[in-house]
Amino acid sequence: MSDAESPSDEFEPIEVFPDDETPDLRPGADDCYKCSTCDTNCPVAEVDDDFPGPKFQGPEQWRLKRKEDTSVDDSISKCSNCMRCDSACPSDVPLSQMHNTARAEYVDEELSKTSLTYWRNRVLANYRTSAFLASKVPRVANAAMNFGPARWAMDRLFGITSEREFPAFATETFREWWEREGGADGSRERARAARERRGEEGEEKKVAYFHGCYANYNTPAVGKAMVRVFEHFGYELVVPKQRCSGTPMFANGMLDDAERHAKVNVSSMGDLVEQGYDAIASCTSCSMALRQEYPELFDIDGIEDLAENTWEALEYLRVQEDLSGELSAATVEDENIAELAYHAPCHARNQGLDGQALELFADLAGVDAEDVGDSCSGISGTYGWKSEKYDTSMKIGDEMFEHMEDVEGEVGMTECPTCAMQMEHGTGYEIKHPLEIVESALV
Amino acid sequence: MAIEDDVLVVGGGVAGMTAALAAAEAGASVRLVTKSQSTLRHASGLVDVLGYADGDLLADPFAALDDLPADHPYAKVGVEAVRDGLARFDAVTGERYRGGHTDRNALLPTHGGAVKPTARYPASAAAGLASDERDALLVGFETLSDFDAPLAADHLRAADVPFDVRGATVSFPGTPRADAKVTRYAHALDGNDDEERERLAARVARVHDGEPRVGFPAVLGEAHPGDVRATLADALDADVFEVPMGPPSLPGIRLEADYERALREAGVNVVRRPVVDYEADGEHLTAAVVERNGQHVPHHAESFVLATGGLVGEGIDSDRGGVREPVFDCHVPHPADRYDWFVDERFGEQPYPRFGVVVDDDLRPRDAEGRIEFENLRAAGSVVGGADFAAECSGMGVSLATGDAAGSAAGADTQ
């Protein structure tokens, strides 16, 4: 102790983290020893030399912001939220969590709420709202959305690329089909019959299906495959009220929107989890959101329970049932899906699911699924839809397109709806979800 | 339940991947679970067996293996396991590695200008051997601050290498950003879209004074390193070599690709998530529990290999209260007083690097009383105690030897 001044009696601890609601990112920033391995795994930094990479966007930017006059650098909006840096890190730095919070802060504080970019991003992030409206008049919407002059205007004035075809809206949504099939009551009947057939009477098998927006509005075939496959194994499904998982909102820094939707999902799915249901998603970005991003970003009652009871569809069957056994005893007669070019979505990789589909189909007669490499597809949800990001998105996708062309046949397979969009856009291939292959094999 | 294999390897470094390949060769179905991407991107690409004993540089590591203490991993597995481990490495890397023609250590210059004893080295570094008496020019890039060529040359001269060496700095064609990642250089040279190779050679020619060999930081291509070197060598009329670098390292990335290819060809399934728990029936392990973003999924197997790394790789964990092995909770002996874990002399005989699980000659971890922890668990790599890999330069060799031995035994047990 120096003799210059005696210490005051009153102890005033420095408040390091004044706002309890923001996640404490200090330990994560401190864990980074700057090896730069994440930078060598970043698909955006790979094709865009101006993007400083995940190490800067995460720990370095966090540290810079400790200074009061420092704001979040606008390069954060170039991050596509593929989350590859998470599994690249040897030191468990929560990079994607840091990126998500930095992006939200950037949008809150730096991006003008009257700018076209803000509203363009907000419209893209709230895809569910557009899809909901379009699904009321699907045929009109499909015609209007791909009407040349309208697309030209959207590109020039609003920044949504005219290079891509808008995905078609289904004339009957998954939920409409589900109701027509008798909803939960119908499922209970069918599942009971299946359990009898399987000699599993008396067993309780119940799951809550999180279909997400895309399987509902655009590819109900994926949702139907999910229902049929799970009922084949004797599971009763319920399809609770749900909103967007939040994935496109995280990627656009719209955390308030994401939290509003998350509250609905955690409430409806969480109630079911409490009653003993497991939550199942067919989209790997939805399952990623429920499992990892929700508890990392929000403080909602029941959010941890939901995260711990959420599964990807095939992962669940593989662990709970003898899925590999049934598949290796089955044969697929459909020539159309005899050769499949499989792309593992980045978000599936981060759940340890990237090898799963290939492994499951290795012994399935009539199907030859081939991996198209470990590169990112490049679309990253809404990212590749932005006019200024389109070229980057396609450059990232190049490697995958090339490998797809090398595979015999012209059908692709992936778990992620937007990766599927990119695969189709780059090659013209028809794209299937692994659940649809399982449906062909077993149902 | 439905995720079931003969052998489950926990850990995706060199020891784990070697164990997986060995078990697969024995006929077992193998799954490898690793918490994140392989740490080979941290590896220089040099493969050491034993560089130093009692602080003395070794000419022949094999001659020194017999003198190691009984608790050293090499002493447990024996010299033949070291040879088997190297043979498996040679099979994985093929023509891309050199050094297998002799038992003796090669001496390779590092990016800091030190000289490192090593048993195998990338073909790309072969022309850089410090025992070669031909003069050398080292070339650095202005924007690549990790390699200061004049400084490295000064250090090499200070180390009394038997040749004259000089350093020069040039700007890389296209002038990348000041903090460009190393793969930016490698991919520019791979693609050669704007004739980067020829333009780089022209810039180097201006500072090249006829030295018969020219060294570059190890960023000369990821997919086509041989072609990149050949173009530069033709243009400069000199042998071209890479000087191994720190992380992220291109020789490490290439080695990672070699191992991934080998694992794929051997039919090993790889899962990238952490193992957080286990299930056992008494002393018989039945499953390793894999954490999947909140979900806990048991992965069943008949035989298990623990290859999670040491204190750096987090296979050995410590806090003020003690040191432990976090996956299977195997016994890790260490002094009760944490002030006895280290000595004050920085380069003194440090106790903590040798912390790790205690294994028998069959690499099965033993508890504090000397009993086998689990009858179907073996350990490999730096999770095994008894070696100070940094001081001895023995990290890769220990991983190869124990990985090969543990994987072969685990595989054989299931057949």
pLDDT in tens, B22-40: 999 999 999 999 998 888 9
CA distances (Å), origin B247, targets A37, A189, A211, A334, B251: 7, 59, 42, 48, 10
Q: Is residue B248 part of a domain?
A: no
Neighbours of B196 (CB within 10 A): 20
The reply to whether A44 touches chain B by the CB within 8 Å rule is no
Report the sign of the C-alpha dihedral through residues A289, A292, A298, A299, in that order.
positive
* Interface contact A351-B270, CB threshold 8 A: no
Distance in Å, alpha carbon of B78 to nearest chain A alpha carbon: 31
**pLDDT of B38:** 84
Of B177, B248, B293, the CB nearest to A292: B293
Distance in Å, alpha carbon of A136 to nearest chain B alpha carbon: 36
Report yes or no: A345 and A414 within 8 Å, Cβ to Cβ. yes
Say how far apart CA A270 and CA A364 lie, in whole Å: 36
Q: Is residue B208 part of a domain?
A: yes
Say how far apart CA B382 and CA B387 lie, in whole Å: 8
CA distances (Å), origin B25, targets B93, B95, B361, B415: 17, 21, 21, 11
Among residues B123, B97, B108, B93, the alpha carbon closest in space to that of B233 is found at B123
HSE-up (13 A, CA, CB side) for residue A330: 21
Question: Is there a single domain that holds both residue B179 and residue B237?
Answer: yes
CA angle B36–B40–B42, rounded 5-degree value: 100
Mean per-residue pLDDT for A325-343? Answer: 95
pLDDT bin (cut points 50, 70, 90) of residue A17 is low
Interface test with A, best of B295, B299, B317, B319 (most A CBs within 10 A): B295
Beta strands B165-170 and B121-122 are: unpaired
pLDDT in tens, A248-281: 999 999 999 999 999 999 999 999 999 999 999 9
Among residues B6, B41, B3, the alpha carbon closest in space to that of B257 is found at B41
Identify the H or E element spanning B86. helix B79-93
Of B193, B220, B243, the one marking the end of a domain is B243
Domains and CATH numbers, chain A: 26-109 (1.10.1060.10), 174-320 (no CATH), 330-442 (3.40.50)
Report yes or no: B16 and B403 within 8 Å, Cβ to Cβ. yes
**pLDDT of B1:** 55
Which residues, in sequence order, are CB contacts of B369 under 8 Å at separation 6+? none
Of B243, B274, B297, the one marking the end of a domain is B243
pLDDT in tens, A53-64: 999 999 999 999
Single-letter code of the amino acid located at B1: M
Contacts of A295 in chain B (CB under 8 A): 294
Report yes or no: A230 and A190 within 8 Å, Cβ to Cβ. no
Contacts of B172 in chain A (CB under 8 A): none
- Which residues 72-131 in chain A show a CB within 8 A of chain B? 87-90, 92
Q: Is residue B106 part of a domain?
A: no
CATH code, domain with B178: 3.40.50.1860
Report yes or no: B45 and B255 within 8 Å, Cβ to Cβ. yes
DSSP assigned state of A321: S
Of B223, B243, B263, the one marking the end of a domain is B243
Tokens 């937007």 identify what position?
A418
Tokens 């020194």 identify what position?
B64
Question: Is there a single domain that holds both residue B359 and residue B293?
Answer: yes
Q: Give percent of chain B with pLDDT exceeding 70.
A: 100
Mean per-residue pLDDT for B339-345? Answer: 95
Contacts of B194 in chain A (CB under 8 A): none
Q: Is residue B221 part of a domain?
A: yes
HSE-up (13 A, CA, CB side) for residue B263: 26
Q: Which two tokens stand for residue B152?
A: 């490295």
Question: Is there a single domain that holds both residue B234 and residue B362?
Answer: no
Of B42, B253, B295, the CB nearest to A90: B42
Question: Is there a single domain that holds both residue B258 and residue B391?
Answer: yes
Contacts of A319 in chain B (CB under 8 A): 1-3, 297-298
Distance in Å, alpha carbon of A356 to nearest chain B alpha carbon: 9
Q: Is residue B183 part of a domain?
A: yes
Q: Which two tokens stand for residue A41?
A: 């795994």
Identify the H or E element spanning B98. strand B97-98
- Mean pLDDT of the residues in chain B: 96
Mean per-residue pLDDT for B56-60? Answer: 95
Question: Is there a single domain that holds both residue B216 and residue B344?
Answer: no
pLDDT in tens, B281-328: 999 999 999 998 888 999 999 999 999 999 988 999 999 999 999 999
Single-letter code of the amino acid located at B371: R
* Interface contact B37-A352, CB threshold 8 A: no
* Interface contact A88-B37, CB threshold 8 A: yes
User: Has residue B230 got a pLDDT over 90?
Assistant: yes
Question: Is there a single domain that holds both residue B302 and residue B196?
Answer: no
Which structural domain, as residue segments, surrounds residue B341? 4-96+254-413
Distance in Å, alpha carbon of B68 to nearest chain A alpha carbon: 31
DSSP assigned state of B320: T
Number of domains making up chain B? 2
Say how far apart CA B305 and CA B20 lie, in whole Å: 9
Q: Give percent of chain A with pLDDT exceeding 90.
A: 84
Mean per-residue pLDDT for A172-183? Answer: 97
Mean per-residue pLDDT for B219-228? Answer: 97
ipTM of predicted assembly, 2 dp: 0.90
Say how far apart CA A105 and CA A297 lie, in whole Å: 13
Q: Is residue B213 part of a domain?
A: yes
Identify the H or E element spanning A426. helix A417-427
Distance in Å, alpha carbon of A170 to nearest chain B alpha carbon: 32
Measured between CA atoms, the residue of chain B closest to residue A86 is: B36
Q: Is residue B89 part of a domain?
A: yes
Report yes or no: A161 and A386 within 8 Å, Cβ to Cβ. yes
CATH code, domain with B32: 3.50.50.60
* Interface contact A349-B295, CB threshold 8 A: no
CA distances (Å), origin A145, targets A136, A160, A161, A289, B103: 14, 12, 12, 28, 70
Chain A to chain B Cβ contacts (< 8 Å): 96
On the 0-12 / 13-18 / 19+ scale of CB atoms within 10 A, A256 is: exposed
pLDDT in tens, B157-185: 999 999 999 999 999 999 788 878 899 99
Say how far apart CA B262 and CA B24 lie, in whole Å: 11
Q: Which residues of B fall below an 8 Å CB-CB distance to A?
A: 1-3, 36-37, 39, 41-42, 176-177, 179-184, 187, 247-248, 253, 269-273, 290, 292-295, 297-298, 313
Of A291, A324, A354, the CB nearest to B293: A291
Contacts of B271 in chain A (CB under 8 A): 352, 355
Distance in Å, alpha carbon of B269 to nearest chain A alpha carbon: 7
Interface test with B, best of A40, A55, A269, A375 (most B CBs within 10 A): A40
Mean per-residue pLDDT for B98-110? Answer: 96
Measured between CA atoms, the residue of chain B closest to residue A48 is: B184
Contacts of A320 in chain B (CB under 8 A): 1-2
Single-letter code of the amino acid located at A53: G
Contacts of B297 in chain A (CB under 8 A): 315, 319
Question: Is there a single domain that holds both residue B265 and residue B218?
Answer: no
Q: Which two tokens stand for residue A20?
A: 């309890």
User: Has residue A210 got a pLDDT over 60?
Assistant: yes
* Interface contact B295-A88, CB threshold 8 A: no
Question: Is there a single domain that holds both residue B11 and residue B73?
Answer: yes
Question: Is there a single domain that holds both residue B223 and residue B272?
Answer: no
Mean per-residue pLDDT for A303-326? Answer: 95
Question: Is there a single domain that holds both residue B152 and residue B274?
Answer: no
Question: Is there a single domain that holds both residue B194 and residue B121?
Answer: yes
Say how far apart CA B40 and CA B313 lie, in whole Å: 11
* Coil/strand/helix, residue A247: helix
Question: Is there a single domain that holds both residue B369 and residue B258?
Answer: yes
Say how far apart CA A192 and CA A189 lie, in whole Å: 5
Measured between CA atoms, the residue of chain B closest to residue A311 is: B295
Q: Is residue B361 part of a domain?
A: yes
* Coil/strand/helix, residue B183: helix
**pLDDT of A2:** 41
Omega within 30 of 0 (cis) for the link into B248: yes
